[in-house]
Amino acid sequence: MNTVLKPRDPVPLLELRGIAKSFGQVEAIKDVSLSILPGRVHTLLGENGAGKSTLMKILAGVHAPTRGEIFLNGSLATFANPGESQKAGIAIIYQELSLAKNLSVAENMFAGHEPRRFGVVDFKRLYVQAQTLLDSLGIDIDATAPVSRLSMAQRQLVEIGKALSRDASLVIMDEPTSSLSDREAEILFHIVTKLTAKGAAVVYISHRMDEIMRISDDISVMRDGRYIATLQKDETTIATLIAMMVGREMSDVYPRRETHYVRPPQPLLTVSHLTLPGQFEDISFEIHAGEILGFFGLIGAGRSDVMKALFGIGRPGGEITMSGKRLKLRNPAHAIREGIAFVTEDRKHEGLVLMHSIAHNVTMASFEEHGSRFGILNRRFERDETANAITRMNIRASGPFQAVGNLSGGNQQKVVFSKWLALKPKVLILDEPTRGVDVGAKFEIYRVIRELAATGTAIILVSSELPEALAMSDRLVVMREKRIVHEFDAHGELPITQPITQEEVMSYATGAKTA
């Protein structure tokens, strides 16, 4: 008699059993059990505040679980600190960069385990090893370059190289493409493929649904600190995952305008031949009250530099006029007084004071207007404005005096928005406003953008997510190599008569089309 042997289920590389984590009275994770298999990409999906980052920090040795067990390769494991997690073969790439700007790329990549000779760092070997690793990963960056001279996207790639400088069997990637262009994201996807081909497991956290459906093997959903389910990619759809993640059906991620937009005859803001050598050249455009003007381009196209110049950072040549009045924007304070607000792409370092409360951050930009001549803020204004912001933006927090640094990324971004909305600006510049934000929080941010435009605020929206740029913009400006190369009307009114395709926009962004 012949016995047919059934294939055994693969042994999990990592298994979590009943993991929970509390911070005081707040239970961030509640009874999460999860299995990660070798050689597969396991995506962890959930809204900001669902507990994903806390769970990953437990694996990284940053937090100890309140209860539950971790098994690595079938053996019980505990990590008292990040060093123990790294020695066990776990590498983590955080969404928020942890690089030292004053050090070189190589020094950052091998920090804590530099090659040494006679007890001191062997810089020659350090630079060779770092450059070899970068080249093998397809990352075109000089290992000797100071990190301070790199773009945000390049720093993100260095962060990836830093994590992979150690031989890891489990690599955790927390929003790794949040600062990357499509071209650089392809480099990352190639790295992921190489890792899994070698048998490593990749835990991938992202809010970009298209890339999740592209690279995932298994997808686990968390909601409100709890594990919901694990599905194989081929067994599910984006709509199903979103419904599981937010606990409700979402028919449209991008809210439509409530009423048809009629463009005023005269522009509110006009920019003519704006030039800052080395950053951007001959930038000319206009925007009308109530209009959403999108800016799209690959990393390095110069979009963010243009936006900073409009906010008084830098001294470009050219002309900026508001309602016919010529502006000389000497600094951000001057731009704010003229009615220009700026939501930066780097909320941690440029948009918020993390150790301060929600209330202090929300009213920070309004201090000059609402403070007394003795430098004392109007407490009634602070209370009312913060309460309004928490309600309007649906900020999830324990109260108005919770430190912003303890909020999830999506809620931090809502605080940044609220800070500028308190000023009621004429022009609101949004540089990657939904970077690292989950789909539920994105919808709330889009809703507020629509509301502001409906009340007459002119909005400049810089986005690396082309579907977002096309869906939210009335007109779309494309930049390449620090110049404007084309302008589309995103709704097919003027001068385009056909709906714009993503392929057509990318053809101008990459230089495939030039006229």
Same domain, 90 and 209: yes
Confirm whether 2 is domain-assigned. Answer: no
Same domain, 204 and 216: yes
Does residue 25 contact residue 9 with C-beta atoms inside 8 Å? no
Confirm whether 216 is domain-assigned. Answer: yes
Confirm whether 9 is domain-assigned. Answer: no
Same domain, 138 and 85: yes
Same domain, 419 and 461: no
Pairing of strands 340-343, 226-232: unpaired
Same domain, 210 and 90: yes
Check residue 495 and give its pLDDT.
39
From residue 458, give the alpha-carbon distance in Å to each of 87, 293, 323, 468: 52, 8, 12, 17
Same domain, 303 and 371: no
Each as own residue / partner, the long-range contacts of residues 365-374 (CB below 8 Å, 24 or more positions apart, any chain) are 365/336, 365/341, 365/419, 365/420, 365/422, 365/423, 366/419, 366/422, 366/423, 368/333, 368/336, 369/423
Give the domain extent around 62.
Answer: 14-250
Read off the pTM.
0.61
Confirm whether 6 is domain-assigned. Answer: no
Please say which residue of 250, 281, 316 terminates a domain.
250
Confirm whether 441 is domain-assigned. Answer: yes
Please say which residue of 401, 424, 447 terminates a domain.
424
Same domain, 171 and 121: yes
Domain count for the chain, please give it. Answer: 3
Confirm whether 184 is domain-assigned. Answer: yes
Same domain, 18 and 65: yes
Same domain, 394 and 491: no
Confirm whether 39 is domain-assigned. Answer: yes
Confirm whether 344 is domain-assigned. Answer: no
Check residue 248 and give its pLDDT.
56
- CATH of residue 187's domain is 3.40.50.300
Same domain, 68 and 161: yes
pLDDT string in tens for the chain (515-residue length): 444 444 445 678 999 999 999 887 778 899 899 999 999 999 998 876 778 888 989 998 999 999 999 999 989 999 999 889 988 999 888 766 778 888 999 999 998 888 888 888 899 999 999 999 999 888 889 999 998 888 877 888 888 888 888 888 999 988 887 777 777 888 888 888 988 998 999 999 887 788 888 999 999 998 888 899 999 998 888 878 877 877 655 556 677 777 778 888 899 999 999 999 989 999 999 999 999 999 998 777 889 999 999 999 988 999 999 998 999 888 998 998 999 999 887 777 777 888 888 888 888 776 666 555 555 666 777 788 888 888 888 888 878 888 888 887 778 888 888 888 888 899 999 998 887 777 777 888 898 899 899 999 999 999 988 888 888 999 999 998 899 999 998 654 433 345 677 788 888 887 777 76
What torsion do the CA atoms of 265, 267, 272, 277 make, to the nearest 10 degrees?
A: -140
Dump the DSSP string for 457-498. -EEEEE-S-HHHHHHH-SEEEEEETTEEEEEEETTS-SS--S
Same domain, 438 and 354: no
Same domain, 201 and 309: no
Q: If you count them, how many residues does the chain have?
A: 515
Please say which residue of 389, 424, 459 terminates a domain.
424
